Amino acid sequence: MSGSSRLEMKKLFLTGVAALAIASSTANAQLAYDPPVRATPFLVTNGAPPPPPPIGWVYGPYSQCADPPRCSMGVVNVPADGLNVRTAPNGYPVMSLANGTPLIPLQKEGDWLLVAAACDLTPTFLWSWAANVPLNRCWVYFP
């Protein structure tokens, strides 16, 4: 390789490095001047925070709160290991809640209530013998 072609290669290499450095600094400068992205706050209705997410449908008379909105919270009270939570009114059971689990009614359809748990749920590692689904209860915090 002749001396002039080496010199041309060096120039080409240095030109490419310079172009890359300029492009990089331009991209960084552009990022620095972009307007900040604003997060949308959650909607507040009448000063209250949004309701908790629903866990499913339960048969209302077994929750001691069959007539919402007159009652704002119910408690599971059944003569079995737990109350079945279903995907839809009279639908497929997905879990069961132990007696004493507090529930927040969100919607009513006939005798069925769409509910949210009023506590953090945790598995009991037992199964409901009636529906063969996992039995859950409120998490107990130990200080």
- Residue 2 has what pLDDT? 58
The three-state DSSP-derived secondary structure of 3-61 is HHHHHHHHHHHHHHHHHHHHHHHHHHHHHHHCCCCCCCCCCCECCECCCCCCCEEEEHH
Q: Which pLDDT score is estimated for 77?
A: 77
Distance (Å, whole) CA 53 – CA 36: 30
> Given this model, what pLDDT does residue 81 score?
75
Sorted by where each begins, the domain ranges of the chain are: 1-40, 56-138
> pLDDT at position 129, please?
79
The reported pLDDT for the residue numbered 87 is 92
- Helix then strand count (H, E) for the chain reads 1, 8
Q: What is the pLDDT of residue 62?
A: 83
Local confidence pLDDT in tens for the 143 residues of the chain: 555 566 666 565 556 555 555 555 544 444 455 555 554 455 555 667 777 899 999 988 887 765 666 677 778 878 777 889 999 998 999 999 988 888 888 888 988 999 999 889 999 898 887 788 999 998 877 66
